[in-house]
Amino acid sequence: MLLFGDNLMSASLDKVGGDTIFGKIIRKEISAQIVYEDDDVLGFRDINPVAPVHVLVIPKTPIQSVAHALEGDALLLGKLLVAAAKIARTEGLQEDGYRVVTNVGANAGQSVFHLHLHVIGGRGMSWPPG
């Protein structure tokens, strides 16, 4: 068993990437349109894009959400943001801008409980979101 924040996570996290659809993508058990990968981070196209460019950026180590991140996760969280910026450049979003979003919990729209960033761009966006 692993302890993340206040929550005791089940032994299902023993699998590489955890036991979510994202863990299956990390382990290559299901396919995804991967646009970025390094030792710690994976980026792939969202199957339900909300913009011309919509890429999910996930840590290969399972963290349920940013609310469950610990001080020891700081380097990995930084790597996620650096990867998001690299993906935005590769996708041609640098000049016109883009949005990086993470949702925490079901009420915020989190549907997969494995931390992920949405890199969204290629169209104008309004504020506030949602």
Q: What residues act catalytically?
A: 116
Provide the 3-class DSSP secondary structure of residue 11.
helix
Helix (H) / strand (E) element for 83: namely: helix 74-90
Listed in sequence order, the residues at least 6 apart from 27 whose beta carbon sits closer than 8 Å to its beta carbon are 15, 16, 17
Measured CA to CA in angstroms, residue 123 lies from 47, 51, 90, 92, 126 at distances of: 18, 6, 16, 12, 10
